């Protein structure tokens, strides 16, 4: 749990405020400011004026992205501790910066929270956010707090900078390019299933497992839980793909491989052919879906929230250095085709079928809600 | 009402989707993209990739700010039509850019909305947002849509650029500086009171007035309603104050003069003395609060959402050109003092009292909620 500040000697209060409604927005944000590390050189003016002011490198482009985590849609406060909410809200946005090959610089958070929220819960959330921003080389530079008559919502914006004047776009893939994905697929979605079945990570870091699931492969369950609760944006890989002109197109996997592959192909005006047997499905998905007697493929294709990079490559030799030195594995899963051929999946059985853009769309009924 | 797109010849549907749950996020956003005007030269990559990519002027600083409008806190869908929600969400952020003396460049919106939202309502909201962004010289460059199990929330981020390498901060005021405010005070808060009493603006632009209020000054009621529903950020004034080095400190009035004056003085480490008789209270506040037999001063000091600029000036002669040519009046309301003297109000009766930082804090009980 976060430490919630010192009692002030000059105060007439003898008890620390425990609810935000006792402290107010301005005094809460003043406490947040006290917890910020020394900002990086790009921050001219951080939290506390009307806007943040950044001094970005002159030859670089400015990247900006925004994404929100909503209670009851993306997380439950019951299963995701505040520190992880803060960490994840930054990570999912940094993943978008990674997909462009950029580096994050400034983080802003707009927090909507019930009026009776506790100071310690919110400070823990801010601590997670500040800690994640620092780990990724960025600073918290702005934000605002607002009451919510509904669920908590954590909306984060990240401003970043390109590297060497370049960005990775979705639209550069051409027929003949190879298609790669980083990491393993489906772990986050499997982690969510396990969370919903009562598996949890205690604040101490130990795994809590309901009796009915104790015979399953618990180390794999923990990997899946961590992938869901604390995803890691692939900033180093994005930087490598961009700076060395390795990738012709790139997207991060937020809504599932199938849907995000459709998006990349649509932006590039191409088709693609993916090999089922090549997909790097996370062993936790294989094991736990095996126990459930359900096909792991759906989780890997449509589970969402992988936050891996999906990218296309023309000269595959350029990947050699990453294979030797990179901090995450990459896997060739197929190739780009002409647009007329559509998006196809070559199955293990040797047949081919159209790969539907199934995945996480907030408003289409079949997806259902995450986190509930 | 917005036009909701052409029926597609290739579709098996014969009826246009009316709910977002029939259309989905990707297809909805594709329609939004079709409605965007040609972007400005700073937009390298707009809506539709992982991040927006901007090419900001090299000698300028990057400004970034985020602020949200939440249904039930800042607005009611019953009284604020979607087009005004979109316009206002941009305006309140642009007001922060104005307070720094900057210019808005890119707008991002994170929209949380109930799953059964209608396509036409949301398109009208986007139309308002796009229209306001264009009017202010900015482009919609990013955003995301997300289901909300609670109220609608419209979270906007604006990225802007400084002018001539300068920004207006809150912290430059010194004892002896004059304190100025733009426009008139309290109109927005009075407009909210009138809205809550049943006064409304029809889509046609005509005023709807309940019988009990018909004998009041209706043109002033309409001015107050418009100030609340469709505030105008003071970008030209901010530019003048910044480019000509006129203001020593500046803040925009979002939470009421009293609270925002405290913020400016705290940031600058100074006190201040304000003259009640000098305050430019909006005539609609004087008239309608007069009818209610309530003091107009509270509305002017603590009403909030004025979106005027409060600024301090050392060499008042530099304001002459604005007085001649500016598009909004400015009024001298007091002067900066030493911090030891606190924040004081000189009343009409000739006495002086401490000016409490009363105003809009989301989490402090006395404020109550706006919009409900």
- ipTM for the predicted complex: 0.91
What crossing angle do the helices spanning B187-196 and B283-291 adopt, rounded to 10°?
40
Token duo for residue A50 = 């009307």
State how far the Cα of B156 lies from the Cα of B92, in Å rounded to an integer.
9
For residues A66-89, average pLDDT: 94
Work out how many CB contacts closer than 8 A connect A with B. 237
* Dist. CA A371–CA B31, nearest whole Å: 29
Mean pLDDT value across residues A307-333: 98
Beta carbons of A64 and B149 less than 8 Å apart: no
Cα–Cα distance for residue pair B77/A14, rounded to 1 Å? 43
Q: 3-class SS at A135? A: helix
CB contact under 8 A, A64 and B159: yes
User: Would B28-161 and B178-358 be classified into the same CATH topology?
Assistant: no
The Cα–Cα gap between A353 and A347 comes to: 8
For domain B178-358, the CATH superfamily is PurM-like C-terminal domain (3.90.650.10)
Query: Please, which residues have CB within 8 angstroms of residue A370's CB and are 6 or more apart in sequence?
Result: A73, A74, A192, A304, A305, A360
All residues of chain B having their beta carbon less than 8 Å from the beta carbon of residue A68 are 110, 112, 144, 146, 155
**B54–A61 C-beta distance less than 8 A:** yes
Question: B144: which strand partners?
Answer: B110
Mean pLDDT over A128-137 rounds to: 98
Q: Which long-range contacts (CB under 8 A, 24 or more apart) does A216-220 make?
A: A216/A287, A216/A288, A216/A291, A217/A284, A217/A287, A217/A288, A220/A282, A220/A283, A220/A284, A220/A287, A220/A288
Overall CATH class of domain A25-161: alpha beta
| CA-based nearest residue to A67, from A244, A252, A227 | A252
Share of chain A above pLDDT 70, in %: 92
pLDDT value, residue A361: 67
Contact list, A365 vs chain B (CB under 8 Å): 21
Backbone angles phi, psi at A270, to 5 degrees: -135, 170
pLDDT band at A319 (very low <50, low <70, confident <90, very high): very high
| Residue B14, pLDDT score | 54
Domain locations in chain B? 28-161, 178-358
The rounded distance, in Å, linking the Cα atoms of A263 and A312 is 13
Alpha-carbon gap: B175 to the closest alpha carbon of chain A (Å): 20
Sign, CA torsion B167/B168/B174/B180: positive
Structure tokens at A65: 């992205």
Q: Are B64 and A159 in contact (CB under 8 A)?
A: yes
Tallying the residues shown for chain B, one arrives at 372
Q: What residue spans of B35-100 are helical by DSSP H?
A: 82-99
B58 neighbourhood in chain A, CB within 8 Å: 58
Among the partner residues A48, A96, A362, nearest to B146 by beta-carbon distance: A362
Between the alpha carbon of residue B253 and those of residues B127, B259, B327, the distances in Å are 26, 9, 18
Picking from A97, A95, A247, A102, the residue whose alpha carbon sits closest to that of residue A173 is: A247
- In this prediction, residue A364 carries a pLDDT of 65
pLDDT at A14: 54
Q: How many Å lie between the alpha carbon of A362 and the closest alpha carbon of chain B? A: 6
Alpha-carbon gap: A327 to the closest alpha carbon of chain B (Å):
22
Sheet holding B43-45, edge to edge: A139-147, A103-113, A153-161, A62-70, B52-54, B43-45
Kindly state the tokens that stand for A267: 């932006």
User: What CATH number labels B28-161?
Assistant: 3.30.1330.10
CB atoms within 10 A of CB B366: 9
Residue A362: is its pLDDT beyond 80? no
Per cent of chain A over pLDDT 90 is 82
Q: How many residues does chain A have?
A: 372
CATH superfamily ID and name for A178-359? PurM-like C-terminal domain (3.90.650.10)
Ordered alpha helix ranges (H), chain A: 20-23, 25-35, 82-99, 119-135, 187-196, 218-229, 235-243, 257-268, 283-291, 296-302, 320-325
From residue B359, how far is each of A285, A307, B18, B88, B270 by CA, in Å?
Answer: 53, 42, 41, 20, 20
Distance CA B369, CA B360 (A): 9
Interface touch B361/A24, C-beta < 8 Å: yes
Classified as helix, coil or strand, B64 is strand
Q: What is the mean pLDDT of each run of 10 residues along chain B (372 residues)?
A: 36 68 87 95 94 95 96 92 96 98 97 91 97 98 91 97 95 98 98 95 88 96 97 98 97 96 97 98 98 95 96 98 98 97 96 88 51 32
- Report pLDDT for A368: 37
A228/A80 Cα distance (integer angstroms): 10
Q: Give the model's pLDDT for residue B6.
A: 35
Count CB atoms within 10 A of the CB of residue A296: 23
Cα B153 to Cα B113: distance, rounded to the nearest angstrom: 7
Contact A265, A315 (CB under 8 A): no
pLDDT for the residue B204: 81
Mean pLDDT across the stretch A207-223? 96
User: Which of B24, B49, B256 is the best mutation test for A, with the most CBs of A within 10 A?
Assistant: B49
**Residue B365: predicted pLDDT:** 57
Average pLDDT, chain A: 91
Number of H helices, E strands in chain A: 11, 15
**Nearest residue of chain B to residue A62 (CA atoms):** B54
Q: What is the distance between the alpha carbons of residues B99 and B116, in angstroms, rounded to a whole number?
A: 38
Of A68, A142, A364, the CB nearest to B110: A68
Cβ neighbours of A193 (radius 10 Å): 21
Residues of A within 8 A of B109 (CB-CB) are 66
Q: Quick check: A50 and B99 CB within 8 A?
A: yes
Tens of pLDDT, residue by residue over A186-214, are: 999 999 999 999 999 887 888 999 999 99
Residue B4 is predicted with a pLDDT of 32
Q: Are the CB atoms for A184 and A124 separated by under 8 Å?
A: no
Closest-approach residue (CA) in chain A for B167: A53
pLDDT given for residue A365 in this prediction: 57
Structural tokens at position A176: 């003949």
pTM to 2 decimal places: 0.92
The dihedral over CA atoms of B213, B214, B216, B219, expressed in degrees to the nearest 10, equals 120
Contact B147 A53 (CB under 8 A): no
* H or E element in which residue A346 lies: strand A343-346
Closest CA to A222 of A308, A305, A284: A284
Distance of CA A357 to the CA centre of its chain: 20
For A14-20, what is the mean pLDDT?
A: 77
């Amino acid at each position: 749990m976060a430490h919630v500040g010192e009692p002030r000697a000059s105060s007439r209060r003898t008890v620390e405020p425990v609810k935000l409604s006792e402290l107010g927005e301005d005094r809460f944000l003043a406490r947040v400011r006290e917890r910020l590390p020394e900002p990086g050189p790009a921050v001219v003016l951080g939290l506390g004026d009307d806007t943040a002011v950044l001094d970005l490198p002159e030859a670089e482009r400015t990247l900006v992205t925004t994404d929100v985590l909503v209670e009851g849609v993306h997380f439950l406060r019951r299963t995701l501790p505040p520190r992880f909410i803060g960490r994840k809200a930054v990570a999912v946005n940094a993943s978008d910066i990674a997909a462009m090959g950029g580096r994050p610089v400034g983080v802003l958070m707009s927090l909507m929270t019930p009026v009776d929220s506790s100071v310690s819960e919110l400070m823990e959330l801010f601590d997670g956010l500040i800690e994640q921003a620092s780990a990724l080389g960025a600073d918290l530079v702005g934000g605002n707090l607002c009451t919510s008559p509904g669920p908590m919502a954590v909306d984060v914006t990240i401003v970043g900078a390109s590297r060497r004047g370049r960005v990775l776009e979705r639209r550069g893939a051409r027929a003949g390019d190879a298609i790669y994905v980083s990491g393993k697929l489906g772990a986050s979605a499997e982690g969510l299933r396990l969370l919903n079945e009562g598996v949890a990570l205690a604040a101490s870091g130990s795994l809590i497992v309901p009796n009915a699931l104790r015979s399953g492969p618990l180390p794999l369950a923990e990997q899946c839980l961590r992938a869901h609760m604390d995803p890691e944006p692939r900033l180093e890989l994005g930087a490598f793909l961009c700076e060395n002109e390795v990738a012709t197109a790139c997207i991060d996997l937020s809504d599932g491989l199938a849907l995000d592959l459709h998006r990349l192909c649509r932006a590039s005006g191409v088709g693609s052919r993916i090999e089922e047997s090549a997909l790097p499905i996370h062993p936790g998905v294989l094991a736990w879906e095996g126990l459930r007697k359900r096909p792991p493929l759906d989780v890997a294709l449509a589970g969402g929230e992988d936050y891996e990079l999906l990218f296309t490559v023309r000269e595959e030799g350029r990947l050699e250095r990453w294979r030797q030195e990179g901090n995450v594995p990459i896997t060739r899963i197929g190739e780009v085709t002409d647009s007329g051929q559509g998006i196809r999946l070559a199955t293990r059985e040797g047949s081919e079928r159209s790969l539907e853009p199934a995945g996480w769309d907030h408003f289409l009924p079949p997806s259902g809600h995450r986190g509930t």
